[in-house]
Structure 1
Amino acid sequence: MSDNERLENTKDRVTGKVREGAGKVTGDKKEETKGKAQNMTGKVKDKLKDVKESAEGAMEELKDKMHKDDK
């Protein structure tokens, strides 16, 4: 994952937590819910990127294995 993507995802999680906390303190359920959603968005983006990187790694290993088997 690029540093830029990681930074954006972290920003979503932190901003979401702040909004969620602000919503709780002020009693604004809508803001609290938006914060929870933003936090989850950052977490989901991180997980999806991890899955993508794992799949790419597995494909590279498979390609290497196929090339070795061809020889």
Structure 2
Amino acid sequence: MVDKNRVDGSAKNIGGKVKEGIGNVTGDSKMQTEGKADQAEGKIQNTIGGIKDSVKDAFKKD
């Protein structure tokens, strides 16, 4: 089972890419910046989920 943070982080990262793309097309620098921030947050959240998964896997092997 994959940690919920990985799923949520990936979704936030994708949403941020979409938001940044829309900002690029429309010339909205605020939306571009928000999209980049969402991507960074999503990557961090995904990483946290990956760490949790690794810890769970390590304890299951014992």
TM-score by length of 1: 0.65
How many angstroms apart in 2 are the aligned matches of 1:34 and 1:55?
Answer: 32
Bigger RCO (CA 8 Å, 6+ sep): 2
Two-structure CA RMSD over aligned residues (Å): 2.0
Structure 2 unmatched ranges of 5 or more:
none
Larger radius of gyration: 1
Q: Is the 2:6–2:45 Cα contact (8 Å) retained in structure 1? A: no
Q: Which runs of 4+ in 1 moved over 6 A?
A: none
* Alignment match, 2:43: 43
TM-score by length of 2: 0.72
How many angstroms apart in 1 are the aligned matches of 2:10 and 2:37?
Answer: 14
Count of residues paired in the alignment: 59
How many angstroms apart in 1 are the aligned matches of 2:26 and 2:38?
Answer: 18
Deviation at 1:54, TM superposition (A): 2.5
* Alignment match, 1:29: 29
